[in-house]
Structures are given as structure tokens and as C-alpha cells.
Structure 1
């Protein structure tokens, strides 16, 4: 059990350093949960109780349109954070579904504990600000990629940014995330 919290500490300390007492406080704000492959952590329309730190496994966050077509917004693997940001921060209902693509182990942080952490430790507020900014930059880069790049360029950008992620995602989901057909993706591999 202690090892999982060491992963969290290492992750946080890439941005800010923590004393033993500070980290003990951080640890107390999280709960651990495990999910099986194909299990949904939350679905569209449900409340989103946590922001999730991925200890192990792989997640996809997606929106389903009126034609029941999935639109993948993001993937998250070890050492990444994921949630429906709007629903989490506003205590609203999810616009997305968060599903496990592999057996997954998470550390979960409620909004109440998130606020407690940020109010009690300015270092953690700075940590989450940096993570939020990085996420915003990533989202803007993805949008720009869709506006200015072709299928091949989007694929190459993804490989450059996240080679380990590309290896774990089924080709059909990878194609969907990149906004192309599986056939187009297959041609890029040949």
C-alpha cells in the first residue's frame, strides 16, 4: 500500500517538494480504487465525485453523440490525471464517460479534499495549477492539430509526444482519437 503512495509522491515532487508531514496530509486526502477492464468509472449524466490519478492501467474519456458514435477526448495511463473537469469542478453531471481499457488502479481525490489540499498547502495549489496549464496546452495543441494537420501528421505528432501510449491503444480506438478511419491508420502503418 505504501508503494502506491510513493508513486504519487514522486509524481508531485516533479513539480514541488514536500516534507514528510506535508505528504502525510496529502496521502490522507486520497482513496484508492481498483476497476476491471471495460468497467466505467462514470458515465454521461452521472455525478463525477473525483479527479483520478492513474497508478496502473489505461483509461479513455469519451463523448457519445446522438448517433451513438464515440468521440474520444483523451486517454490516460500511469502517472496521468483524468476526470470530466467541468462536472468535477462544478459538481455537475458528466458530459463524458470514463472507461477502463485495462484493469486499472487509481488514487481518487474528491473536490472537498482537493480544496482542502489547496487551502492547506500552497505547494499543492501550485502543483495543480501547473498540471492544469499543461493539460490546457495539450488540449490546444490537439485542437490546432485537427485544424491544421492531415491524418499522417496527427499520427506522427501523437507518436512523438506519447510513444508508450500509442503501443497500448487498440488501433480502432487510436484511429477514432486521431479523427480517421481504421483503414487510413492501417495505411500509415504500411
Structure 2
């Protein structure tokens, strides 16, 4: 839980008493490699904070092609936010890529926590704002950058993901073929598939 407190305090300080109260809203869940955290059709009841592990969020189109929307490592929040905030069925999958652990926060708990602790309302608002700006930047990059530029930007922004995630998933995330990525991917960075 010390990591969570540090994570919160990157945005707003919290007292020991406030942090103890925040912890009462969270439940711990272990997730195994290849296990789904969320599947298409699930009613999404939680936002998840990753304490350990890596996840991939993806959408499968009508032709069966997988489109990776996000990778998430420890100290990241993850959910199908459209389904979470509207309490509806998920339209995407989130799968665990290595054994992991998450803290679960229900929508009701999140709203109660935000209404009772202004600091946490500020924290959640800042996380949503940052998430939105990252997503917008990614869309612009996909629309305007060539494959090499997209890969170099991805490698610069997410060096830990490049080291942990198989090339085929990075290629899907960047919207390029695996062959194109193989030409761009330095031999020194290659690793065994997860």
C-alpha cells in the first residue's frame, strides 16, 4: 500500500488518517497470466490499480482482428471506462500478460471517496485528465507519424513496455505489421515472448 500512497501523493498529499480511510474502499485481487480481468459482455463494476504485473486492453473487430488500445503496468489505473462509468457491458477485453495483482475500486466507492475527501476528487480528476491527454496524443501520432516515428516515440515513452511485451503486440498497438516492426526493432531489444 506504500506504493499507492506515493502514487496519490504525486498529485496531492494525504495524512495517515486519510490514507487509512482510502484503503478501506479497496479490495485486493490476484490475477494469473492469460486470465481476463474484463471480457467483452462483462458488466464493469471496478476501476483497477495495478500493484504488480502488466495488462493489455484490446478490442476485436468483426473480422476477428485484435486492436490494442492500451498496455498498463504497475502504478497504472485500468478499466473499460465507458462501461465502468455507465455500468454497462464491456466492449473490450483486458487480459493479464504475467502474474499480477490489482486493487479494485467500485464506482460507488469511488464516488463516495471523492465526495468525502476533496483531495481524492482532485486526484481522480487529474488522473482522468492525464489519461485523456495521453489518449489524444496517441490518436494524433497514429494519424500523423510514420511507423518508424510511432515506434521511436513508443520506445521513448514506454521503455519498460518495450522490454516486457512481445513484438507482435507492440506492432498491433502501433498499427503496423510485425514485419515492419522487425525492421525497426533493434536486435539488442529482442526478448523471449511472454
Measured against the shorter chain, the TM-score band is over 0.9
The alignment status of 1:61 with 2:78, answered yes or no, reads no
Runs ≥4 residues deviating over 6 A: none
RMSD: 0.7
How many residues matched?
186
The TM-score, its normalising length taken from structure 1, stands at 0.96
Gaps of 5+ in 1: none
Which string of whole-angstrom CA distances, capped at 9 and with x for unpartnered residues, describes residues 57-116 of structure 1?
Answer: 000000011111110000000111100001000101101101001111000100010001
Structure 1 counterpart of 2:28: 32
Distance in 2 of aligned mates of 1:18 and 1:9:
8
The alignment status of 1:81 with 2:77, answered yes or no, reads yes
Structure 1 counterpart of 2:151: 155
The alignment status of 1:143 with 2:156, answered yes or no, reads no
Q: CA deviation at 1:189?
A: 2.0
Q: CA deviation at 1:43?
A: 0.5
Structure 2 counterpart of 1:19: 15
Structure 1 counterpart of 2:120: 124
Distance in 2 of aligned mates of 1:176 and 1:188:
14
The alignment status of 1:45 with 2:41, answered yes or no, reads yes
Gaps of 5+ in 2: 187-194
